[in-house]
Structures are given as structure tokens and as C-alpha cells.
Amino acid sequence: MKVSYYPGCSLDGTAREFGESVEGMARMLGVELAELPDWNCCGSSSAHATSEALAFDLAARNLGIAERAGLDLLVPCALCFSRLKTAQKTIAAGRTSGGISTLTSSKVQVKDSVDFLWHDVGEKAIRQKVKKSLKGLNPVCYYGCLTTRPPHITDAPMPEDPHGMDLLLESLGANVKNWSYKTECCGGSLTLSLPEVAHKLIQKLLDMAQEAGADCIVAACPMCHSNLDTWQREISRETGKNYYIPIFYFTELMGLSFEHPDTRKWLRRHSTDPLPFLRQKGLL
């Protein structure tokens, strides 16, 4: 199987372990990722907060490149995914937001990483690769806002209660916990500009995961991951509570279960060090 691949700026930078683990899993599962030639930043929150036309054109340039490649497009970052899907829906509605893009149609299927690995590559292929069961791991799956919401953009069948990541991790043997905070916002767009607001949202998620009986949180978005992972020490200091909840990318846990040789290297990049936790669970 071959797909186009749009890593986005974070997977190239601060979320390198997500990028590398997505690529690692694709290779193990026989998927060829063809990186979009000369892709540009999708514009993220800043473009759409500033100018309709700018947000559209930045995303549409990438869509144009993907159209020429003519393959499905894998977009692992939730924000990039949302921006590219929004641009597609804008085109489909016959609007082009007054920008300079001349793209009048866009037919490539834009896919997030969970959807792609679980539905397109499929359960059977994944189960065949499992070498080590993740039995004993009690994660909650955290989908964040933008891979599912709003459904008129994402086409998510169950925007308030997505399931793909839960099923995928269960197929690796994990004891996935249910919770009502799967898609609750972590404040990713506010971390730098309104940290006091973002920290409240992060703390809520950490508390609710623990209340659900989880010992770790699994994410599929670089913003969600970095937000939940990076600030635990500060939030502990601010609140006097002691937070230690490892945050994983689902692709890293796949790597652990498939025994991908680079898994430790990916996990060592986290702020909330997951290695002692995994050793204690007998998984490392």
C-alpha cells in the first residue's frame, strides 16, 4: 500500500518521536509513505484566527500537491488534519475564501493516523505483528478535539465517542479504560499564550484519567501529547499534588508491542519519563 504523507511542522520538530513512530509502524506494516514534495505549514490556529483567506490558501497549496500525487493523504497531526479537511469542505461548498488558490476540486482522502492504521491497514495486519502483549497496561485513549470535531468537517461517525484507538490498543492486549473525556479540550492552542487557562484543562484530564482507573494516557496528536506530557511538573508545583502519568503516542505503544528496535529512543524524548513506569509493568 502506498499513501501520500504530510508530516507537518511538529512531527518534524518537537514531536519527532511521533513522526518516527508513525513512519516505523508504516514500514513494519508494509505501507510506503510518500512525503508530499515541498509541503508548507498548514497555518495552524494562527492563520484561521487572523485571516480566512490565508488559512485557506496555506492549506490549499498542500492539497494541490496531494491532488497531483493522486494518493490518499495521511495527516497524523490533528490540527493539520483539521485545516486540510476544512479547506476541502470549503472547496466542496464552492467557496475559496477570496484567496489566491485556484483549486476547484479536491478528491484525495485525507486521513488521520488512527483511522488509517486501524481501518485501512486493518486489525488483521496489526494483530499479526504483536510480539508482546500490553497486558497490565491500563490506558485511557485521548482523541482531543480536532480529529473528530466538528463532524461536518471531519466526517467522524461518532464525534463525541470515537472508538478506533480503544480498539487498536485492545488488539495489542492493553486493558483500555472507558472515560467521558476522550474528546475534551486540553487547551493546546493556549499553552503559550494563556498558560494558566491551559493548565486547568490539563489538570482536569489528568484527574479524570486517574478517576477512571487509568495509569497512563494515550494520544494521537502532537499538541495533545506535548501539552499533557510537558507541564506535569509545573502543575504539580502549582497545585501541591504530585502528578506522574506517562503520556504515550499510540504508535509508540504499537512499537513496544511489535518490538520495534527504536521504541526506547522515542520514549526517552518525553518530559514525563515513561521508562520507570514501563519497567515496573514488566514491559521494558
Partner 1 sequence: MTVTELPTDIIPHSSFRAEVEEKSGQKISACFQCEKCTNGCPVTFAMDIAPHRLIRSVHLGLKEEVLKSDTIWVCASCEACTTRCPNGIDIAHIMDTLRQMSQRQGFPASRKNVPLLHRAFLTSVKRRGRVNETGLAVSYTLKSAGLGGLLKQGMNQGLGMLRRGKLRLLPDRVRAGDQISDIFKNTEKKG
**Given the rule CB under 8 A, which residues bind partner 1?**
9-10, 12-14, 16, 38-41, 43-54, 57-58, 61, 95, 98-100, 145-146, 149-151, 159-160, 183-185, 187-190, 192-194, 196-197, 200-201, 204, 230, 234, 268-271
Q: What distance separates the 2 farthest-apart alpha carbons in the chain? A: 57
Smallest separation, CB 92 to partner 1 (Å): 14
- For residue 58, what is the enclosing H or E element? helix 52-69
Smallest separation, CB 176 to partner 1 (Å): 23
Residue 254: all three cell numbers together: 504499537
Q: Are 75 and 112 in contact (CB under 8 A)?
A: yes
Nearest to 283 by CA among 270, 269, 264: 264
Closer CB to partner 1, 129 or 204, in the complex: 204
Closer CB to partner 1, 50 or 128, in the complex: 50
Smallest separation, CB 192 to partner 1 (Å): 6
Closer CB to partner 1, 135 or 211, in the complex: 211
Smallest separation, CB 220 to partner 1 (Å): 16
Closer CB to partner 1, 117 or 246, in the complex: 246
Rounded CA separation 69/112 (Å): 18
Q: Are 250 and 106 in contact (CB under 8 A)?
A: no
Closer CB to partner 1, 30 or 37, in the complex: 37
Amino acid identity for residue 236 in this structure: S
Smallest separation, CB 93 to partner 1 (Å): 9
Closer CB to partner 1, 126 or 249, in the complex: 249
Smallest separation, CB 128 to partner 1 (Å): 32
Rounded CA separation 74/147 (Å): 12
Q: Are 195 and 180 in contact (CB under 8 A)?
A: no
Rounded CA separation 232/203 (Å): 8
Rounded CA separation 126/145 (Å): 26
Closer CB to partner 1, 87 or 172, in the complex: 87
Smallest separation, CB 37 to partner 1 (Å): 9
Dihedral of CA atoms 174, 175, 181, 184 in degrees, nearest 10, equals 0
Q: How many CA atoms lie within 13 A of 224 on its CB side?
A: 29
